[in-house]
Structure 1
Amino acid sequence: MLFTITSGTISSTFAVLFVLLTTSAICCVSAGISSNIRCLETEKNALLQFKQGLVDNSNVLGSWESKKDCCQWRGIACSNQTGHVTMLDLYYNSSDIYNLETPLSGVIAPSLLELRYLNYLDLSFNNFEGKIPDFIGSLSQLKQLKLAGASLSGPVPPQLGNLSHLYTLDLAHNFVTFENLEWLSHLSSLRYLNMSSLNFSKVVNWPHSISKLPSLVELQLSSCSLPNVDLRSLSFVNSSTSLEVLELSDNFLNSSILYWMADISTSLVHIGLMGDRLQGLIPDVFSNMVSLTSLDLSYNQLEGGIPKSFRNLCRLESLNLWENKLSDKLQDSIENLSCAQDTLESLKLSGNPFWGPFPDNLTRFSSLKELYIDGTNMSGPLPKSFQELYQLRSLSLVLNQFSGPLPDFTGLSSLRQLFLSRNQLTGSLPESIGQLSSLEFLDISVNSLNGVLTEVHFLNLSRLQFLDVSYNPLSFNLSPYWNPPFQLHILDMSSCNVGPEFPKWIQTQRKLTALGMSNAGISGSVPNEFWDLSSNLLDLNLSMNQIHGKFPNLSSKNCTFFTIDLTSNQFSGPLPPFPSNISNVFLSKNMFSGSLSSLCATQAPELYNLDLSENLLSGELPDCWMQYQALHSLNLAKNNFSGKVPSSLGQLTYVVLLRLHDNNLSGELPPSLKNCTELRVVDLGANKLSGNIPAWIGPSLTNLLVLRLRSNEFYGSIPLSLCSLPALHVLDLSQNNISGALPHCLPNITALSSVSPKVEENWILGFVQLVWKGIEIEFGENLKHLRSIDISNNNLNGDIPQSITSLLKLISLNLSGNSFTGVLPSNFGQLEMLESLDLSRNQISGRIPPSFSSLHYLSVLDLSHNNLSGRIPLSTQLQTFNASAFMGNLGLCGPPLTPECPGDEATQDPAVPNGDGGDKTKQEDDGLISFGFYVSMVLGLIIGFWGVFGTLLLKSSWRYAYFRYLDNIKDRIM
């Protein structure tokens, strides 16, 4: 192609080239000038002075050298035109687990005043000392001030109110205090305010100050102890119309805060009121909040249901009503969210007593991604329309009463979490669940699902990390060569039929941290290859199977076990050393043998629970317990240990439960045990321990709840110091050689005599073996309700003290097999809570007190083989016992014994005469008595009749009063 160039074209071309060259030249010059801009010397010196006041252990400010341009220092930014420092950012990222640096500490030096053009200051999450400096209020160009988590204290300086250009203020998570917020109302440019976790308890005017911030967009005041102000009575300047985010969670507010929110802004996008003690119905204040996308009212005490005003929240994306008292029929409440059926993505309703079936209208919420409805009163089948929630990622319906079969989840291709545990679901697990390729968590535990699980159920679950099918009658039928498509972190198949062989496919799970196969029908041995997985395992539960073989030495495998539970199996051989970082070891009811010398081979300073009971272990107890000082529970019962109780047990200063019963331990208790002041349960029964019961038990072990020393060889008297155990629930000193009198001070044990402080729910770990109503049984959870004294089969003598009747909370008392004398305390009936009483085989005399008839809860009674006499008191209880409960008391009479008491014959029919003169006399006496009785009865009737009715006939005033009285009686009855 040919081009024609005219003079005009050439001129215009040169003009363009000239402009381009000129512009380039100017840019180059500007760049050169800009590149030569350096920070001002005065500002550099100010920063170096600031550095001198800091402690920098990680050399965070290593680049702050006087020879370098301060604009190139870490955390510093300067203006490209003037060189003034405009930003100082030394924020410490405490949330970064890979951050090896330590935060700065020291003081904030006033040299920062030289940075007159500073507009950004962030010193968050360092460890500065003292209060917020007053001089910060003179940094007039400051736009963003961030001092969150900087360990600052003291009052907030009101000079901060001078920062008129400030639009970000973050003072959260410090220890500063406020008298008022008047200074805050001067920050007219403020858009973001975060003062979470500060103490506002004295700032009653906070709503006024907040409402005077016309540009405020986000307000964060969670965990501030905001006082409960009646906000409806306050007058507001409705100037914060720009407010979009309001976070006031974890305060002491009431429902009036909702009315204040409705007044202060109509532009709210997020409201957070979690844990604010809101009560009553949700008020109808949301009608005008049409911009709201997120609402959190969780952990309050709201009642009723979701109000109709929610029908205007058409942009709502997240609603959290977790843990309230909402008791509406859920179908009706969901209807009030209908306007948000295209926008709602997260709905959390767990922990409310909602009722009814699963709402059909909920499946219309096509955008729903999270649905949590745990712990409600909902029941009935799960709907087949679940597939319509095709965007659902998390579904949790735990702890309800849903029943019937599982629906087909095929359409929920985005589902990542499915939690359906603790319902009443039945039927088999549909194979379609294996098509949920996005599934990461599956929990269907504690239902009644049955059938067989095969590879098809897990076919495409390549992302599965958590699988819990425990406590369902499910069976696994998986090929031993099956290679699962997933790598699980947590697997629980307890109470399913997994055996009889240990499943080989588990050996492919290299990321397992927790494995539960309790009561899984496994009877083989654990493959050696499985223990190679132990480097990741934290929790292993193979209890209640029939697994046999040796327990390997895991201390050499660099494992990170937290809990090992192999209870009730057939493991045998010696115990190897435990991993040094283990916390809980439960190996009871196996066949381990040999000594415990391996315990001294390693240290496990974090071991918390150790249960080796009911094995075949023998030898002396090791004396290296100082290596296990974190122990809270030690159970070595029902083995063949011998020798003395080692003194190093006294170094277990945190131990709460000590069970050494049913061994062959001998000697006296070491006095070092008095250092174990946290002990709650001491069970040393069924050994050969001897000596006096130590007097130090009372003053040293004041937290003791159970003291069981039965079936030993203790002698001497019961120390009075045992009365200094105020929390004692169970005292069992039976089957020893204890002598002397029963202490009068037993009522000082307040847990037995009066209302005692509530015992923690978890104060019993495992079981304690006690004789209850004559039978030796194990108590677990119910032990905290028991109050029992058993001092039977000793050599105690003297009277049973009257003070024992002050043990008003006592449920079981056994003093049998001693040499008690004297009479029974007359007010024995005060022990109204007694269910079991055994005083047999003593030398008690006298009558059974009539107050025994008040023992209405008594179900076990044995008073046999004493010297009791007289009539057995009549009651609804005593006559129901077998006669054997009273046998061996020759002087006792009356039911249920067959001997009649003297005088009972008078109520019988007269005997037939035998021609005996004595019988004739008796017959005559009876006839005489009968005649006199009838004559007296007739005379009494005549005198009584005329004495009353004769008077009424003769005296009119008495007659009228009498009939008025009868009329009143009639009116009351009618």
Structure 2
Amino acid sequence: MQILAFTILFFNMIPLSTSCVPDEIGALRDLKLGLEDPSRRLASWTGDDCCSWAGVGCDNRTGHVVRLDLHTRTSNYSMKLNGAFSSSTIFLKHLQYLDVSGNDFKGSSVPPFIDSFTELSYLDLSNAGFYGTVPPQIGNISGLRHVDISGNYFSDDDNGNAGWFQALSRLSPLEFLNLADCDLSIIPQSLSNDNVFRSLSFLDLSSNSFNSSIPDWVFAITSLQHLDLSGNSFQGPIPSSVGTLGSLKFLGISSIQNIVSIPSELGNLCNLKFLDLSYSPLRTELIKLERIFSGCIRNSLEYLDFSGSELSGKLPEWIGEIKNLKSLQLFRNSIYGSVPDSIGRLSHLETLHISSNLLNGTITKSLGQLSNLLSLDLSENSLHGVLSEVHFDNLTRLDFLDLSSNSLIIEIDSDWIPPFQLEYLSLGHCKIGPSFPLWLSNQNNLTYLDLSQTDISDTMPDWFWSLTSKLNYLDLSNNQILGKLPDSLVLGDGDYVQVFLNSNKFYGGVPRVPPNVARLSLSNNSLSGQIRASISDEKSILELISFSMNKLIGTIPSSFCKLRKLHYLDVSSNHLSGELPNCWNRSSEYLQGLDFSNNNFTGKFPRSICLLPSLITLHLSNNELTGELHSSLKSCINLVTLDLSFNRFNGEIPTWLAESLNNLKILSLRSNLLSGNIPPQLSKLAYLQILDLACNNLSGPIPRSFGNFTTMKNAESSLAPVLTSFINFDDHMQLGINGMDLQYKGSLSLLKTIDLSDNNLSGKIPAELADLVGLQSLNLSKNHLTGKIIEDIGNLQQLRSLDLSRNELSGEIPPSLGELTFLGLLNLSYNELLGRIPSGNQLQALPYPSIYVGNRNLCGFPLSECGSGDKTPSPTSSIGEDEVDEIEWIIAGFAPGFGVGVSVVCWVLIFHKKTRDASFKLLDSVCNSLPFVISRQSHDNKNSLT
């Protein structure tokens, strides 16, 4: 009874609080007033019982607010609290826990009164939009155990951060300190306190701008279990004292560009489970790290990341001795050889990524023993050999498999049932075909499937289209798969679905696609019929549509103008007709590329096209478009490529073209009905590198200002593609190079050409053209140019192709022509040139009389030798002039330099009858001059070329 009475008396003496302290209620209300609360998270902050408010915690005995948790764990700005941190919070003197992370305090400073919270043990201000310096007052809060101020924008103070670092280092209870991504650049090299961070177990200094050596005091904190130094510019080696951190379980040393070496003492960390050295340039052979991994570290390590560390050599056998390893990341190095048998001893391995290396051997069958393997990535190597069921039979947990971009052969029995259920499968560029892999039929969890370029030439099985219901990425491109596309594609529910079925033998109509499909390529198939009026609904996120190289007919539906997310539309090389859509407006703000080329479109240039604010490439070539170049083109101010070739546009080239479209790199008006003079203002196009005005009715002189093209005066090549948003969809166009119209794709940014051929131009070749030292191809043929070839033609050191044929040029060939060391294609035929052909290394490599034919007073190699004081006429030929035009560049194409290769020549010879017949006539007359031997059958069998 005495004990009971004493207990009752004791609890009666304790004051129990049922309401909040008035000053603290006012502080919280002021805090709410200073914050915008778009998600209404503070809606409960009403009345006087603040202890019941969301995020607020009170002491049950005193009623004081001891906990304030307003954190936001989302990147969605509409969920963040934003505004200023109220100074009234100074009255929350009994706070023990404060977390305002993930919000936006609009660049305000951490309040200097932070040390008013004298009882604080947990402080989290991470990713909260704070600026300024780290207040040293934090070091006055003697009970702090957890400090996280990462992800803010702090600047270094005047004393090199020693103040607040020194203050923090004296906090003996401090266990957790996160300074990652704080925009700091100075870290003190020494701290005066003898007991520096004596209780610290977690230290994160990653993603700052520290560029000194790593301070010694870091490796004196023997209590550390987690240390992350990644993403800085620390100088010098990792000190050997790292081996004294016996409690360390996590060590991050990634992305330190100036690291010199890692010490062998690292192997003494017997508790280390996670080691990240990724993207720190170790520049050594992997086998030389054996000394480190022969220590006790090999018994504890579970996660090892050497990706992007500039390692070389073979995969060593000691890898198999790290017996508890769960994750091995070695991608993006220069490791070669085979995958060793010792890999099979890593029985706990869950992740093996060795992609983007130089592996050039085979894959060991012991890989099939890794029964715990979840993820295997060996892509982008040169692995070869055959993979069979043995490699996969025990991989029961596997859900990620990427073997793409190798030379592997996958030979699996048609009745094999895989023991795994994959979510991600990429076998692109491996050999799987000719049959479609039937073992896929039971893979019901696939969200990613890449079987591109795998030599499949089979009919698509019926079950496949039911397999796609979860796929967010599907690539079957560059095979010979035959089948009818379904009327509607059924795909996964991801936010960004991509479908690539191009370069197969699919037939049927254009299917309807779900609104979550972002990229759709059906090009180079056998699709027919009309494009459906509505390919998707109004919620469509389609960014890329490619229907090129099919058999589609009809018109382009106006619904394409309503696809608000569209970036690129390609319907080229079909049988489409009618007028081009004229329904574009500024709401299609993302549209960068339109390709309507190689169809049967008629009418005039659609004026609304230039309302597209982001349009940078426009292809309308090979149609039947008419009229003058409309002034609406002035609004296409961001155009980089304009291809209107092979149409029926007429009138003059407007002067405003250069004034308005000053971003143009590529301009082709080839094969139209344009007339008048070439405007000199075109030279104002500073970025122009391809100018093609050939095959029109242009007259007058070549503007002298053409020597001012800025990009062509630069010998360096531009490597930037025209379309930057779509890696697999390079800009392309037809150009007249080497005497043939050829399709160029992916290499346009490397070309610098001028083609003014087949017009009615007159006058002299401007001497200023010799300033275009970056020019690679110049074609002025089939005009009425007079005078001499410019003396300084040798300045054009990048020139690969030069055609001045069929003009009225006179005088001697300038000697500097022989200085063009890259010149592989030359045509000076049918002019009035005279004298000796100059000697020169490159001219000696062009032993084709046809390139000089029609100049009666030329002599010297490869024509007849010049007599003493005589002009020796060039040999005559029975070949007609038109036939020479067809073939002379093909023969010259075998010369070194800027050629298109034997494959293009063979293609022309086989499929172009007129060219083939001319070829044999020409070979009859010049075969004795050619540096190779051609065996020719009788005229009854001209299709055979040996």
Task: Provide the TM-score with structure 2 as the length reference.
Answer: 0.84
- 1:664 and 2:630 equivalent? no
* Aligned-pair CA distance for 1:343: 0.5
2:751 to 786, 792, 815: 786
Q: Rg bigger for which structure?
A: 1
Query: Which consecutive unaligned segments of at least 5 residues does structure 1 have?
Result: 1-17, 182-201, 907-974
Alpha-carbon separation, structure 2, partners of 1:58 and 1:435: 50
Moved more, 689-698 or 638-647: 689-698
In 1: Cα distance, 2:420 partner to 2:6 partner: 62
1:37 aligns with: 18
Amino acid at match of 2:501: L
What residue in structure 2 maps to residue 896 of structure 1?
Answer: 862
Query: Over residues 776-810 of structure 1, what are the superposed CA-to-partner deviations in whole Å (9 max), with x where a residue is unaligned?
Result: 22222332222111101111111111111111111
* 2:353 match: 396
Q: Indicate the residue corresponding to 2:682 in structure 1.
A: 722
Aligned-pair CA distance for 1:321: 1.6
Matched, 1:317 2:273: yes
Conserved in 1, the CA contact under 8 Å of 2:702 and 2:765?
A: yes
Contact 1:271 1:296 in 2 (8 A): yes
**SS at 1:375 equivalent:** coil
Q: Where does 1:220-235 land on structure 2 (aligned, <5 Å)? A: 220-227=178-185, 231=189
Instruction: Give the aligned partner of residue 798 of structure 2.
Output: 833
> In structure 2, do the counterparts of structure 1 residues 713 and 719 end up closer, same or farther at CA, with 3 Å as the change threshold?
same
Report the residue type matching 2:702 in the other structure.
L
Q: Deviations over 1:587-628 (max 9, x none)?
A: 1110011011x1337611111111111111111101012263
C-alpha distance 632-173 of structure 1, shift in aligned 2 (>3 A): same
1:386 shift after superposition: 2.7
Look up the match of 1:850. Answer: 815
1:460-471 matches, cutoff 5 A: 460-462=419-421, 464-471=422-429
User: How far, CA to CA, are the matches of 1:806 and 1:272 in structure 2?
Assistant: 56
| Equivalent residue number for residue 899 of structure 2 | none
1:230-245 matched pairs, under 5 angstroms: 231=189, 239-245=196-202
Aligned equivalents of 1:757, 1:851: Cα separation in 2 = 23
In the alignment, structure 1 residue 488 sits paired with structure 2 residue 453: no
8 Å CA contact 1:543–1:569 kept in 2: the answer is yes
Match in the other structure for 1:94? 74
Secondary structure at 1:861 match in 2: strand
Residue 275 of structure 1 deviates from its aligned partner by 2.5
- Written as runs of structure 1 = structure 2, the 5 A alignment for 1:805-824 is 805-824=770-789
Paired with 1:585 and 1:738, the residues of 2 have a C-alpha distance of 37
Which residue pairs with 2:92 in the alignment? 115
After superposition, residues 672-821 of structure 1 pair within 5 angstroms as 672-755=632-715, 758-761=718-721, 763=723, 765-821=730-786
Counterpart for residue 205 of structure 2: 248
CA distance in 1, matches of 2:871, 2:605: 64
Q: Post-superposition shift, 1:89?
A: 2.4
CA drift of 1:566 comes to 1.0
Q: Distance in 2 between matches of 1:601 and 1:755?
A: 41
Letter of the 2:94 partner, please give it.
Answer: Y
1:851/1:357 Cα in 2 relative to 1: closer, same or farther (>3 Å)?
closer
Residues 391-427 of structure 1 deviation map (CA, whole Å, 9 limit, x = unaligned): 1110112123141244233432211101122231311
Question: For the Cα contact (< 8 Å) 1:633–1:765, is it kept in 2?
Answer: no
Distance in 1 between residues matched to 2:213 and 2:619, nearest whole Å: 56
**Other structure's SS at 1:828 match:** helix
Aligned residue type for 1:777:
L
| Contact 1:38/1:83, CA 8 A, preserved across alignment | yes
SS of residue matched to 1:722: helix
Q: Is 1:271 equivalent to 2:227 in the alignment?
A: yes
Q: Which residue of 2 aligns with 1:608?
A: 567
Out of 516, 520, 544, the residue aligned to residue 503 of structure 2 is: 544
Does 372-381 or 202-211 show the bigger shift?
202-211
Alignment counterpart, residue 871 of structure 1, candidates 808, 815, 836: 836
Over 3 Å counting, the alpha-carbon distance change for 1:479 and 1:819 in structure 2 is: closer
Deviations 1:406-456 (A, max 9, x none): 423343221110112223131133345143221110111222222533466
- The CA deviation at 1:147 is 3.1
**Match of 1:699, SS?**
helix
Structure 2 CA distance for partners of 1:757 and 1:173, relative to 1, 3 Å? farther
* CA displacement at 1:497 relative to structure 2: 4.7
Task: Give the partner amino acid of 1:348.
Answer: D
Q: What is the match of residue 383 of structure 1?
A: 340
Moved more, 888-897 or 716-725: 888-897
Give a deviation string over 1:606-663, Cα, whole Å, max 9, x none: 1111111111111110101226331112111111111111011101221222111111
Identity of aligned residues (%): 35
Distance 2:840 2:202 in 1: 72
Residues 295/122 of structure 1: CA separation in 2 closer, same or farther (3 Å cut):
closer
3-state DSSP of counterpart to 2:409? strand
Name the SS for the 2:367 alignment partner: coil
TM-superposed deviation, 1:235: 7.7
1:417 matched to 2:375 = yes
Amino acid at match of 2:604: K
Q: Determine the C-alpha separation between the residues in 1 that align with 2:316 and 2:367.
A: 17
| Match status 1:860 vs 2:825 | yes
Instruction: Determine the C-alpha separation between the residues in 2 that align with 1:717 and 1:272.
Output: 68
Deviation larger for 386-395 or 209-218: 209-218
Partner Cα distance (1:653, 1:759) in 2: 25
Q: Following TM superposition, by how much is the alpha carbon of 1:26 offset from its aligned partner in structure 2, in angstroms?
A: 6.9
C-alpha separation in 2, matches of 1:277 and 1:624: 53
Q: 1:777 to 1:45 in 2, by over 3 A?
A: same
Cα distance in 2 between the residues matched to 1:905 and 1:43 = 109
Per-residue deviation, residues 136-183 of structure 1 (Å, max 9, x unmatched): 4434444444333333445555655554444444443344545247xx
Matched ranges for 1:67-216 at <5 A: 68-94=48-74, 102-129=79-106, 130-154=108-132, 160=138, 162-180=140-158, 203=161, 214-216=172-174
Q: Does 1:574 align with 2:510?
A: no
Matched position secondary structure for 1:820: strand
Alignment check: 8 A CA contact 1:180 1:206 kept: no
- Quick one: structure 1 residues 872 and 748, their matched pair in 2 at CA, closer, same or farther if it must change by over 3 Å? same
Q: Does the CA-based 8 Å contact 1:828-1:851 persist in structure 2?
A: yes
- What is the Cα deviation at residue 471 of structure 1? 1.3
Aligned partner letter, 2:233: R
Give the deviation of 1:261 after TM superposition: 2.7
Specify the SS of the correspondent of 1:563: strand
Q: 1:63 aligns with which of 35, 40, 44?
A: 44
User: Which residue is equivalent to 1:301?
Assistant: 257
Secondary structure, in 3 states, of the residue corresponding to 1:672? helix
What amino acid sits opposite 2:92 in the alignment? Answer: L
Contact 2:375 2:400 (C-alpha < 8 Å) held by counterparts? yes
Conserved 8 A contact 1:810-1:831: yes
Cα distance, 1:428–1:89 mapped onto 2, change above 3 Å? closer
Which sections of structure 2, spanning at least 5 residues, go unmatched? 724-728, 873-946
Deviation at 1:369, TM superposition (A): 0.3
Q: Deviations over 1:258-316 (max 9, x none)?
A: 64533x42333232222323466555342323332222222233677653222322222
Between 311-320 and 603-612, report the one with greater CA deviation: 311-320
**AA aligned opposite 1:69:** D
SS in 2 for 1:336: helix
- Counterpart secondary structure, 1:734: coil
- The answer to whether the 8 Å contact 1:629/1:651 transfers is no
- Give the Å deviation of 1:559: 3.1
Q: Which amino acid aligns with 1:884?
A: S
Deviations 1:102-123 (A, max 9, x none): 3333433333333333333333
Whether the 8 Å contact between 1:452 and 1:476 is mirrored in structure 2 is no
Query: Structure 1 277/426 Cα, relative in aligned 2: closer, same or farther at 3 Å?
Result: farther
Deviation, 1:468, is 1.3
Aligned pairs for 1:336-415 within 5 A: 336-338=292-294, 339-400=296-357, 401-415=359-373
Is 1:427 paired with 2:389?
A: no
